[in-house]
Amino acid sequence: MKQIDGGITAVEGFAAAGIFAGIKKVEKPDLALIFSDTVCTVAGVFTQNRFPAPPLLLNQKHLRKRKGQAIIANSGNANAFTGKQGYRDAEAMAEAAARALTIPIESVYVASTGVIGEFLPIEKITGAVPRLASQRSQSGSRAAAEAIMTTDTFLKEVAFVGPMGRQEVKVGGIAKGSGMIHPNMATMLAFLSTDAAIQPRLLQDALRQAVDRSFNCITVDGDTSTNDMVLCFANGRRGREIRSKGPSYHQFSALLEAACLALAKMIVWDGEGATKRVEINITGAQSDRAARRIAESIARSNLVKTAFFGQDANWGRIVAAIGNAGVPVDPERMDLSFGPVLLVGKGAYQGKEAESKVAALLRQREIDLRVHLYSGRGKATFWTSDLSLDYVKINAAYRS
């Protein structure tokens, strides 16, 4: 497979747009549209937060038919914890898009991101939809990606092309996310397109697996949002329909996972106020599940993350996070390394010279942390960021 330009509209048959509709306090794009000129098979994965926002409830209703043709998304207001009025507003967004695009309302999916607990300025949104629909184009991916940003510092789009059977297929996508990022989904939206032909159940399976290995392996601050979702639209223009989990399915799954992982890394690399990008690799655990729990425990530890920000080789905090993961570990058989530098070998601190080398590595933006446990074949990888002073400043001022 190879990466290509074009984002979500790199896939033939998809168009997108992004405009300023007056939702945000400053004049920045805040309303996005993604549209397929044919009906698509749709898969979706949603937040595990117990207070899902009205747009998610509407989408789960529309997803029962596994079909769709459009996504309308706003930033600047989450339409979350807004009760029956919030649900009516989500329906109004879908209805306005359906009318402008001349498609059934059940074919429209809705997303919102921003401040929780405030009602949408729904008249502004529905009034702007005709203009939004008229501006959709096959080069509109970047505009749509910009329109779903909140505290993001850069837009996030990606596209890949790769083999599926005897043909090549594409997967494109856009995402937003910077804070409130944690496994079980995060404060993020991700929308994906593909020209693969695949049965609905298999598309859902492929998306769940891709999400579990990407968006559910990142953390910025340990918080989970009310609005997270990943939607994948497949218009079926390329290849024979995938009907079983054979070679073509696995080729498509790898392509979808690559797109999701690329977007997930962009999200964690854009962590609010982040100055470090950290990849955590756990090997030699009793099982993959045990390795995942250890990786997550390290990745979400505020003490570890602040040490990364301070460029402090405080390995004791990492060891404490490993011991806090709730899985059996023999401390006398554990290795802990930063890049090529072994800091803890078979449970023993390797001394000031090793720590000095690690301190030099911590001055770099990219940090590679490796833990080997010598107790099995389990492995896992997580991605996280440091926790900086700017994170506090950004979130203290978020609503002002």
* Strand pairing class (14-19; 31-46): antiparallel
Would you call 283 a catalytic residue per the annotation? no
Instruction: Specify the length of the chain in residues.
Output: 400
**In degrees rounded to 5, what are phi and psi of residue 301?**
-70, 120
CA distance 268 to 266: 6
CA distance 24 to 30: 7
DSSP state of 390: H
Q: How far apart are the first and last CA of the chain?
A: 44
Q: Which residue has the tokens 């405080």?
A: 314
Which residue among 126, 187, 194, 219 is the active-site one? 187
Q: Residue 110 in contact with residue 74, Cβ under 8 Å?
A: no
Q: Residue 389 in contact with residue 273, Cβ under 8 Å?
A: yes
Cα separations in angstroms, 384 against 152, 236, 252, 275: 16, 35, 27, 11
The alpha-helical segments, DSSP class H, found in the chain are: 54-62, 83-101, 122-134, 141-147, 200-212, 247-269, 288-300, 302-309, 315-323, 352-361, 389-396
Of the candidates 256, 43, 74, 71, the residue with the CA atom closest to the CA atom of residue 158? 256
Give 38's contacts (C-beta < 8 A, 6+ positions apart). 13, 69, 235, 236, 237
CA distance 186 to 177: 8
SS3 89: helix
Q: Which residue has the tokens 């505020």?
A: 302
Amino acid identity of 14?
F
The DSSP string of 104-118 is: -GGGEEEEEES-TT-
SS3 29: coil
Any idea which residues carry the catalytic annotation? 187
